Amino acid sequence: MQLEQNLAAARFEKEAWKNITNFNWEPFTDPDLKRKFKLLSVLGPSALPEDKLTQVKLTRQNSFQFVIQKRSLVFLFVSFF
């Protein structure tokens, strides 16, 4: 379920990036607005093809779960003594 949500968010980010890069925002004078456009104009992992993106997301998710499990074991061990 979470993977599907991540992929949907990545598709949305990619579509937003396409819209932002087609818009001429550089002449704006408002620094806050310009900063927001600049941040949105950089595409991260969402640029990957969907199969590679799925692989990256699964790897991250598995790594995160491993860290949480390892931390729980350490906490359990420390609590025991």
> How far is residue 72's CA from residue 54's CA, in Å, rounded to a whole number?
27
For residue 43, the SS3 value is coil
pLDDT tens digits for the chain (81 residues)? 677 887 888 888 888 888 888 989 889 999 999 999 888 888 777 777 777 777 777 776 666 666 676 666 555 555 555
- Could you tell me which residues come within 8 angstroms of residue 25 by beta carbon, excluding any fewer than 6 positions away? 33, 34, 37, 41
pTM (global) more than 0.75: no
